[in-house]
Amino acid sequence: MKIVGLITEYNPFHNGHLYHIEKAKEITGADFVIVVMSGNYVQRGAPAIMPKHLRAEVALEAGVDILMELPVCYAVGSAEYFAAGAIDLFEQLGCVDSICFGSECGDYGLLARVAHILADEPEGYRQSLKEALKNGMSFPLARQTALTEYLQDDTLDSVLAQPNNILGIEYIKALYQRHSPMKSYTIKRMISGYHDTDLTGSYSSASAIRRLLSYTSQSVLLDKDGMFDEPSMSEVLSRLEGQVPPSCIRMLEETHHSRYPVYANDFSLLLKYRLLTETKESLTEYLDISEDLANRIINNANDFISFDQFSDQLKTRDMTLSRICRCLFHILLNIRKEDLLTYQEHGYCQYARILGFRKDARRLFALLKNRSQVPLVTKLTQTEKLSRTGLSMLKTDIFAANLYESIITNKYKMPFINEYQQQILRI
């Protein structure tokens, strides 16, 4: 029995994701696919556009056999934390043979070469990185500059500027540092770039699909004559046909303006409240928040209008917008540096939270029960096997999920569904 692991966000699920599932099984010869997916918050520092259970349901219908949730402390972390958490979870399951990830370049050899340099940190690379940081570059740009200089390859600039390439490098690095027996493969992304905002062919980016879904809320779509147009949901879904699987179209139609969309600005008042309770000293206790960023947050707090506006206001040359957004969600979700250090000391992921599975994957489920080195969590009321550290991590996940659900309740006037009430999906 061969098993391939995929690390995903499905925000939302589209044809490129379906291609990834099918191609991963083809090139690895896998019998089953296990997915580790971000929950209600994603790595770029934002809420997922729709709840995790909706995204999980579409993925299971598309052929995923078992879908697990990546703990929120990793899901909304840097690329390094995101990758380390996901790879560790696959390692702890004890039965995953390989992972397969998408990348813009599709060149596994190049990505592996860069990953090994980042893991080993040879002297020449370290000196170039130190010099670039001293010149005021953001860490991603400084690392990109140092790698280009060390490898003497100007083509690296375009490779290292692409988000899926960066994540792929971190996956390979995490496997390398753990001396993992899992093999890794990459698939070149189909046509659209990660940040493309327009629909393209049959493989548009999640960014383009999210942008189209936002039109029904923001009324900013221009028609062919350059006039403002407010499309109906049926028109939006018509444009998405051929871009996402039919099951996703059905889900989008049935849950629009009752379960989604959710945006960062929906958290604005909650964030403002949290910032009013903080000081410069207390802010530095949260993951990724430096003393300089803490000072800027406090000094600019009176100008706070919305989540997006405040994030833009805090952005500087040496700190990316994504990092700013992640830091603000670390404050909102109470994700602290000390907690991450504790988790790492005890082995990153403390459990495997299963959101759903296919009924014809019972053999895989039985294998997981026998092989997994961490408790499998299918019911939140059955946590007796969790350590104290595991309970702390799960508590954060539950709080984060309930906070997201509160946004839905307030925005769409829907009944609140506590995380304990959510049922495991069986397809």
Q: Is 15 annotated as a binding residue?
A: yes
With the CA atoms of 324, 102, 360 and 355 taken in that order, what torsion angle do they form, in degrees rounded to the nearest 10? Answer: 0
Q: Is 189 annotated as a binding residue?
A: yes
Q: Is 17 annotated as a binding residue?
A: yes
For the record, the structure tokens of 293 come out as 């960023």
For the record, the structure tokens of 394 come out as 């799960």
Sign of CA dihedral 99, 105, 110, 113: negative
14/239 Cα distance (integer angstroms): 13
Q: Is 8 annotated as a binding residue?
A: yes
Q: Is 9 helix (H, G, I), strand (E, B) or coil?
A: coil
For the record, the structure tokens of 186 come out as 């990459």
Q: Which residues contact 261 (CB under 8 A, 6 or more apart)?
A: 49, 50, 210, 213, 214, 217
67/52 Cα distance (integer angstroms): 10
Among 170, 46, 33, smallest CA distance to 103 is for 170
Q: Is 10 annotated as a binding residue?
A: yes
Q: Which residues contact 380 (CB under 8 A, 6 or more apart)?
A: 394, 398, 419, 420
Strand segments (E) across 50-173: 66-70, 98-103
21 and 6 Cβ atoms separated by less than 8 Å: yes
Residue whose structure tokens are 């207390």: 282
Q: Is 164 annotated as a binding residue?
A: yes
CA contacts within 13 A on the Cβ side of 320: 15
Q: Is 7 annotated as a binding residue?
A: yes
Length of the chain: 427
27 and 100 Cβ atoms separated by less than 8 Å: yes
DSSP 8-state symbol, 301: G
At 241, which helix (H) or strand (E)? none
CA contacts within 13 A on the Cβ side of 177: 17
92 and 352 Cβ atoms separated by less than 8 Å: yes
Q: Is 44 annotated as a binding residue?
A: no
DSSP 8-state symbol, 416: P
Q: Which residues contact 362 (CB under 8 A, 6 or more apart)?
A: none
Start-to-end C-alpha separation, the chain: 21
Annotated binding-site residues for ATP read 7-20, 102, 164, 189
Annotated binding-site residues read 7-20, 102, 164, 189
